[in-house]
Amino acid sequence: MGGEHSGIRPDTTDVLLEVAYFRPDAIAGRGRRYGLVTDASQRFERGVDPTLQERAIERATQLLLDCAGGVAGPTTVPSAPTSCRAAPRCDSGRRARGVIGAAVATGDAAHPRALGMDVQTGAEAWSVTPPPWRFDVAVEEDLIEEVARVHGFRPHHRRPIRDRRSRFPRSPRPGLRPRPRPTCSVQRGYHEAITYSFVRPGAAGSPLPRAAGVAPRQPISADLAEMRVSLWPGLVRALLDNQRRQQARVRLFELGRKFLVEAARCERCRRSRDRAGSALPEQWGTVARRWTSSTCAPTSTPCCAQAARCSAFTLVPGAHPALHPGQAARILRDGQPVGWIGRLHPEVEQRLGLT
């Protein structure tokens, strides 16, 4: 963005003015990539009239002479501005009718001319060369929109939209996403949670041990600098936030993706739930009792039954670094491991401040 050797000092006598033009597709994203976001880069990204350079340098020279005096030198133009855009061509029949609901007649060519455009009419169509300051008119749809805007929208016929597609699209894996939601949220009293796919690096804020995660080049913040390798960190974080707000009984579930670093970077869809507090809401008819491993297992049965037959799922004792020893089990489906169930490890509870 300039420097001391190129700046103007009290003893400066010679000043060189440079005016250039950059195409939006050539300058877009470059300022953010190099960390040099300037007012000029933002303007060129949005589009600038490519014929303003001569007027701009003459105006800057005039201001410099009026304020500091001196003599203006010659102006050198290394290359003449050229337009790389093709003139949009508008069909006066079916194409315009399909876009705006009304045909664009050849006589309507006066509307683009009123906007400073050069119009070449033909037998059934006409092409338009927009002025340099209308860099937003690039394709046929842009031209039809300008004609409709000048002509007015009231004369156009109204026609209801007809769509034969279903309002409820089918999922490629119908047993994974649509079905467990009603069972978990309505019948079992769970609320769906949608947490960030980014987590805090390391194991300080996670129930899981240190695992290699995908680190984006431009993270949202220092606490969200890695892609999650499990849904547990987000749910445990939501549980902790609820407990800090005096919500003792929490039931949450989430359907989302985790991102793994294996032979190649991949993402897998997973389902996860967490709960804390009493097994039932506070009431006079039953004695308050807290969640245990035995009370957690029956709540998994209806959700598993949505995906396949209930008899296909079994629980076997297992050990997980984030779960309590002796209170953790592996969920098997036809003998294949598909999940974990258990209580958080006491060290994890103490480290995260969970009650």
Does some domain include residue 161?
A: no
In angstroms, the CA 127 to CA 34 distance is: 40
Does some domain include residue 77?
A: no
Domain at 266, CATH number: 3.30.930.10
In angstroms, the CA 130 to CA 116 distance is: 7
Domain at 113, CATH number: 3.30.56.10
Of 113, 133, 151, which closes a domain? 151
Residues, the chain, total? Answer: 355
Does some domain include residue 79?
A: no
The CA distances from residue 346 to 7, 207, 211, 327, 343, in Å, are: 63, 10, 20, 11, 9
Residue 283 near residue 295 (C-beta atoms within 8 A) = no
pLDDT, residue 234, reads 87
132 and 239 in a single domain? The answer is no
Range of the domain at 311: 180-352
The answer to whether the pTM exceeds 0.85 is no
Does some domain include residue 162?
A: no
At a CB cut-off of 8 Å and minimum separation 6, what does 231 contact? 195, 254, 256, 258, 270, 271, 272
190 and 278 in a single domain? The answer is yes
pLDDT, residue 149, reads 79
348 and 210 in a single domain? The answer is yes
Does some domain include residue 80?
A: no
Does some domain include residue 164?
A: no
Q: How many domains does the chain have?
A: 3
283 and 144 in a single domain? The answer is no
The CA distances from residue 285 to 99, 201, 276, 288, 289, in Å, are: 65, 46, 21, 10, 12
191 and 289 in a single domain? The answer is yes
pLDDT, residue 263, reads 47
Q: Per-10-residue mean pLDDT for the chain, 355 residues long?
A: 80 89 85 85 86 89 92 83 57 65 62 74 71 79 79 66 64 51 65 86 64 77 84 88 87 85 62 67 66 57 57 87 89 89 88 84
Does some domain include residue 166?
A: no
